[in-house]
Structure formats: structure tokens, C-alpha cells
Chains A and B, each alone.
Chain A
Amino acid sequence: MSLRCAQKLARLWAIVAERVAWEQQQVQVKRMRQWVLDAEHILDGSWAQAGEVVSNATVGERLDAWWQELAKQGTDGTLSELEQACLTKFLQILANLRPHLVSTMTGRTFHAPTMNWNAAFALSRCSIAASAAARTGTAMYCATDAASRMRPGGSKMRSINSNWSSVRPGSTVQAFANFDGRSPLPRVNNANAFASIISVSNTLSPLKLAGLLLLQRNFCPHGKSSAFITAVSDDITFSAASTLPVRASHTRYTVSFPFSG
């Protein structure tokens, strides 16, 4: 190696060696990152042994135990001030979202919906459409989906008829009805909400009877929607999507529900 190369190598080595100045901070950050990885590890159910049943209940128990253990760490004085502040925030958010992260509902307690999906969605339809019309200038008949806004190559999901009563308690709402009193115009797709069965499994019946709710993870398309709501079921999952404009964009609701009653 030439002298010039040796000098450059030594210089490069000295620069890289300067990273030790942040070693302590990196250790802290790494420890904080490990909290997130641990939470993800619990939520994804990958900790389960072969043949072990992973349910929302078991995930919830494990998450709670881990949360308490982490909370103890925050008070035993082993963490730095920065870590304690981050841990406090981390635990606080997880505690607040706990009922929304892992469903506590079981096959027995998760009751059937109180009304038809389309009718329920129609409740918010007028206000959403009016809001959209006000903000975007979209014609009301279009905002209320009276005319098809289906684009070429758009959703191919077919609307389905629900098995539940189409009559909402306290009022009668005809599915796909317009709230401005006009009869629906002919259109390609006349549904307020499109629903489709995305998964059905009859093999889970024993678990359902045992009151276990199999683990179902809830994710939303990152950055694609301003609202995305899910509820989980044990053996049958429905997905309903609305193309009604909200905030001048399309909002998608995904709802899952059981037939267990």
C-alpha cells in the first residue's frame, strides 16, 4: 500500500471512528426501537409455538403483561431521561388504543348489527355528500351517488343483498334510496356501499364456540385514506367500501362482522 493510500485509509478510519461519540445515544435509540419491535412481535402472533392457538384474547393477555413489565422499567431508574419520556408516551398511547388494537369481543359478545349496512351507511350519506358538494362543487346528484361515478376499470366488487333486515329500527329506509326524495337514476352501479365476502372459514367453529376470537390484524392502506375503520369477527369477514367523497377524496370504510349473533 502506498503512503498516500495509507494516509487516506487512516483518515477514513479516523472519521468512521468518530461515531463512538454517539454510541450512548444509539444504544438508547436501539432500546426504544426494541419496544416497537416487541409490540409488533406480540401483535403479529409469531411468538406462538407450533399448534398453539393464537387468539385476540391470548394476544391481549400477552400485550397487557408486556405493557406492565415495560411500565416497571420506566420507574426503576435504569432508563435515561429521554427514554423515560419516550416510554411514557409510548405506553400511554398503547394504553389508550388498547381496546382498538386487539379486539376484546368474542364470538359470544360480538352481537349482530342493529340494522342493514346500507341503511346504516345511508345515515351519514347526506351529510357527507353535502359536505363534499360544498367543498368540491360536485353536483348533489353526483355526490349522493345518484349517478354512477364508476370510472373505467374501477371497482369490480358487486353489491350483495344482506341477510339482515333492511328495515332500520325507528324508520324505514329503502336500500339505495336517495334522501332528497328522487327516485334513483339508472346507473351502472346503484349501490351506496359495495360489500363482498372476503373470507369465510367454517373450520373455526370449535373456537367460536369456545368464545375465542382468532387473531385478525387490522391495517389500513398507508396514506391512502383519511378514515379506515375495521371491526373484527371470528369466522366471517365482510368488507364494505364506499366511494362517497369525503374531504374531496374517497374514503373507504372496511367493516367486518360475525354472523354468530
Chain B
Amino acid sequence: MAVEHLWPGVPPQVCQFHALRDASKPAFEADRKVKTAMRKQLQRKVKAVHQQLSRDTPKAAAAEAEQLSVLADYATGVLCALNRDGTAPFDFAAVQAGEDLDEVAQSLERLPKKGEP
């Protein structure tokens, strides 16, 4: 009200961050749904693998235990990617999770070839 009295007819400027956040809300919601679907589908499976790896590692021989712990780290990485939270308007969780999983997949491809991560 005070601003209108001071400068009648001058449009008050709004915060650009919040304007973009409001404008991108539907897109952000779509992204959130994709990420939620991915997490629901994959998280349970990855957790199961992670638990198996954690259970087997202490029982395995030293060399194998080291390899299993490396795989456990990969599983942890996948879980972290699936549990990312986005922040509107720029940080989209599903996009970031997809990029993270791409990196994990590429690294997993190299793993059997080189024998190391």
C-alpha cells in the first residue's frame, strides 16, 4: 500500500526466484512423480542387495570381502541417487538421479573389465 502511494502506476517488482519457482511448479511436480516412481521400484531391490553384501562381507575371505565392500559402496551410491531431494525451481531430483545412475552404470560396466572401480 505504501509503495502504491509513493509510485502510483509503477508495477512492484517481484522476486524472480519465486516467480520462476511458481512457474515451474507443474514441471517440478512431474519430476517428483518420476523420482518417486523410480525410488519405489528400485529402492527395495537395491536395499536387499546391500543387505546381502553387508551380511556376506564379514564371512568372506579378505580378497573377496574387499570386492564385496566395493559393491556395497555401489549399492549405497544407488540408494543415495534414488533418495535425492530436488529443490525448485532449478534442482530437479529425477534429472539428477538419472544422471547419477548413469554414472554408476558406466562405472559398473568398467568394473569387470578392469577388476577395480
B24, A105: Cβ atoms closer than 8 Å:
no
For the complex, give the distance between the alpha carbons of A120 and B2 in Å: 5
Q: How many A residues, CB 8 Å from partner?
A: 68
A residues less than 8 Å from B89 (CB atoms) = 36, 40
A19, B42: Cβ atoms closer than 8 Å:
yes
A8: interface (CB < 8 Å): yes
A257, B6: Cβ atoms closer than 8 Å:
yes
Q: Considering the complex, which residues of chain A in the window 13-30 have a beta carbon less than 8 Å from any beta carbon of chain B?
A: 13, 15-19, 21-23, 25-26, 28-30
By secondary structure, the B interface counts as: helix
A82: interface (CB < 8 Å): yes
A residues less than 8 Å from B90 (CB atoms) = 33, 36-37, 40
> Given A8-B71, A12-B75, A228-B15 in contact, is the A86-B27 Cβ separation under 8 Å?
yes
Nearest residue, chain A, Cβ from B68:
A5
Max count, chain B CB within 10 A of own CB: residue among A25, A114, A123:
A25
Max count, chain A CB within 10 A of own CB: residue among B15, B18, B56, B64:
B15
B98, A22: Cβ atoms closer than 8 Å:
yes
B residues less than 8 Å from A90 (CB atoms) = 23-24, 26-27
A97, B19: Cβ atoms closer than 8 Å:
yes
A101, B13: Cβ atoms closer than 8 Å:
yes
**Distance between B63 CB and nearest chain A CB, rounded to angstroms:** 8
A residues less than 8 Å from B45 (CB atoms) = 15
**Distance between A77 CB and nearest chain B CB, rounded to angstroms:** 19
Contact partner of B8 among A16, A28, A114, CB < 8 A? A114
Which 9 A-B pairs give the minimum distances between C-beta atoms?
A32-B27, A113-B6, A93-B23, A220-B15, A99-B11, A86-B26, A100-B14, A218-B13, A121-B2
- Which B residues form the contact surface with A (CB < 8 A)? 1-3, 5-8, 10-20, 22-27, 30-31, 34, 37-38, 41-42, 45-46, 49, 52-53, 56, 60, 64, 67-68, 71, 74-75, 78, 89-90, 92, 94-95, 98, 101, 104-105, 108-109, 111-112, 115
